[in-house]
Amino acid sequence: MRKLGILTITFLLCSGLLNLFAREPKAAPEGQSRSSAVGGGSQGKASQDAEGPPFVIGPTDVLDISVWKEPTVSRSVPVRPDGKISLPLLNDVQAAGLTPMQLAATITEKLKKFLTDPQVTVTAITINSQRVYVVGEVLRPGPVPMFPGMTVLQALSTAGGLTQFADQKHGYVLRNEGGKDTYYPFSYRNLLRGDQRGNTVLKSGDTIVVP
């Protein structure tokens, strides 16, 4: 009887431990929560904001127009000063002021009169219309081709950085907005230290001045 009692107590203890482990929540597989958050909530919004504004086509840009299985229509064309491009079958098409995706949709719609289910891709292969100007104590002053989301520090890097005579604390971006000049100060020294205050996202036509 004594042995039977010991076996019964042992059985009850084991059953209790098994029930306790069964109640514990299972850990999610490594990486699952991370992947499920991509594209949703605040994290998804932050990744979209980091992409910056979309590229808008302007005069003097060079575009590659590709129409699938239609080599006679596909070609690289410059955007004329009037903002238009010339294509076979369509003649003049307005390009300036549109994104490549918008222009592709416009060309697709126009080609439907001549082709069955046209598939159009527009790629900007040379961007000449958007640039900023870097003046003052930099190694390579002058116009700098601009890409979407370009910052002051990136433009200064493209211009070769500052000379040994530059004032590293009192640079500024000069921008004309609505006919009025606006100044955005920055400290090159602070930017190099990781302080992003003053690292303005540039707009086409901005002038970066380094005294």
Give the integer Cα–Cα distance in Å for 135 and 206.
11
Q: What are the residues whose beta carbons fall under 8 Å from the beta carbon of 167, sequence distance 6 or more?
A: 137, 210, 211
Give the integer Cα–Cα distance in Å for 142 and 114.
46
Assigned fold of 131-210: Outer membrane lipoprotein wza fold like (3.10.560)
Q: Which pLDDT score, from 0 to 100, does residue 49 have? A: 41
Q: HEC states along 127-158?
A: CCCCEEEEEECECCCEEEECCCCCEHHHHHHH
Give the integer Cα–Cα distance in Å for 129 and 58.
5
Same fold, 62-126 and 131-210: no
CATH number of 62-126: 3.30.1950.10
Q: Which pLDDT score, from 0 to 100, does residue 90 have? A: 95
Q: What are the residues whose beta carbons fall under 8 Å from the beta carbon of 127, sequence distance 6 or more?
A: 55, 61, 145, 146, 147
Q: Which pLDDT score, from 0 to 100, does residue 52 have? A: 57
Structural domain boundaries of the chain? Answer: 62-126, 131-210
Residue-level pLDDT, tens digit, the chain, 211 residues: 454 444 444 544 455 544 444 444 444 433 333 223 333 333 333 333 445 568 889 999 999 999 999 999 999 999 999 999 999 999 999 999 999 999 999 999 999 999 999 999 999 988 888 899 999 999 999 999 887 789 999 999 999 999 999 999 999 999 998 889 999 999 999 999 999 999 999 998 999 999 9
Rounded to two decimals, the pTM is 0.57
How far are the Cα atoms of 11, 53, 95, 129 from residue 203, in angstroms, in the given order? 76, 10, 20, 12
Q: What are the residues whose beta carbons fall under 8 Å from the beta carbon of 131, sequence distance 6 or more?
A: 143, 144, 145, 146, 204, 205
Q: Which pLDDT score, from 0 to 100, does residue 127 have? A: 85
> 23 is written with which tokens?
């109640």
Q: Which pLDDT score, from 0 to 100, does residue 128 have? A: 87
